[in-house]
């Protein structure tokens, strides 16, 4: 089945993480980049997640997942050690029209979490449709070398330039060409690297 790739806005949306282990920690960290209302349900959570709870970044329900919990959320990620629990969470989410991902079980996912190269607002997501997360991670590492940290500030600068150009010039082919010309340039740090490589 062909997938429709999107970047999802989670601000103002309720997210539920079912599980408190290392994988749950990774998934929680990923959603915290966008979500502000995150609840974790698990008898115990990792030390890092405990810190997030103390900082007010997450809420923790110390216990097992209870029937009906998923219905109160926009997005649910099930990452317990129990395949049975993960699938039950997914099935309940389906009944309630809630987006759900059961980790490591592609058959019980509405979406797959991609491997991500993140440079501020500049992000590249890589997916293999759940077929090979290892390949997605390998490609991510290669892209991280090609698109370094300088792309975060570069993207911000391009955004400011775009805003100014849109206000200054009417919609036209000229405006479009100018925006593409700016985007085709390289960040200053990249320009320096290429000059050093050529010399």
Residue where a domain terminates, one of 92, 112, 132: 112
**Is 8 a domain residue?**
no
pLDDT value at residue 7:
86
Domain CATH number, residue 37: 3.40.50.720
94 with 118, same domain? no
Q: What is the pLDDT of residues 18-51, one digit of tens each?
A: 999 999 999 999 999 899 999 999 999 999 999 9
- Residue 142's φ and ψ, nearest 5 degrees, are -65, -40
30 with 103, same domain? yes
98 with 177, same domain? no
Q: What is the pLDDT of residues 150-176, one digit of tens each?
A: 999 999 999 999 999 999 999 999 999
**Contact between 82 and 18 (Cβ < 8 Å):** no
**Is 4 a domain residue?**
no
127 with 184, same domain? no
pLDDT over 80 (residue 135): yes
107 with 29, same domain? yes
Average per-residue pLDDT in the chain? 90
172 with 126, same domain? no
- Domain span at residue 193 reads 150-198
**Is 5 a domain residue?**
no
**Count of structural domains, the chain:** 3
pTM: 0.75
Return the bridge partners of 99, or none.
75
Whole-angstrom Cα Rg for the chain: 21
pLDDT value at residue 115:
84
19 with 103, same domain? yes
Q: What is the pLDDT of residues 45-98, one digit of tens each?
A: 999 999 999 999 999 999 999 999 999 999 999 999 999 999 999 999 999 999
pLDDT over 50 (residue 143): yes
67 with 94, same domain? yes
188 with 118, same domain? no
For the chain, percent of residues with pLDDT exceeding 70: 93
59 with 30, same domain? yes
**Is 1 a domain residue?**
no
For the chain, percent of residues with pLDDT exceeding 90: 67
d(CA 65, CA 19): 9
pLDDT value at residue 194:
46
**Is 133 a domain residue?**
yes
**The token pair that represents 122 in the structure block:** 């500049």
Q: Where are the alpha helices (DSSP H) in the chain?
A: 22-31, 47-54, 83-96, 133-146, 150-168, 173-184, 188-198
99 with 174, same domain? no
20 with 107, same domain? yes
């Amino acid at each position: 089945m062909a997938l429709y790739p999107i970047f999802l806005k989670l601000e103002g949306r309720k997210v539920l993480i079912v599980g408190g282990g290392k994988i749950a920690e990774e998934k929680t960290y990923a959603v915290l980049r966008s979500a502000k209302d995150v609840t974790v349900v698990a008898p115990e959570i990792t030390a890092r997640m405990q810190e997030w709870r103390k900082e007010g970044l997450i809420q923790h329900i110390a216990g097992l997942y209870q029937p009906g919990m998923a219905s109160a959320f926009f997005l649910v990620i099930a990452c317990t050690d129990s395949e049975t629990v993960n699938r039950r969470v997914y099935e309940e989410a389906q009944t309630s029209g809630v987006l759900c991902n059961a980790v490591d079980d592609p058959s019980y996912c509405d979406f797959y979490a991609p491997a991500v190269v993140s440079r501020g607002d500049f992000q590249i997501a890589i997916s293999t449709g759940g077929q090979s997360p290892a390949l997605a991670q390998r490609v991510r590492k290669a892209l991280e070398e090609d698109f370094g940290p300088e792309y975060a500030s570069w993207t911000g600068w391009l955004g400011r330039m775009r805003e100014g150009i849109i206000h200054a010039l009417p919609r036209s082919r000229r405006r479009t060409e100018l925006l593409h010309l700016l985007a085709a340039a390289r960040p200053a740090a990249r320009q320096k690297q290429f000059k050093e490589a050529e010399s």
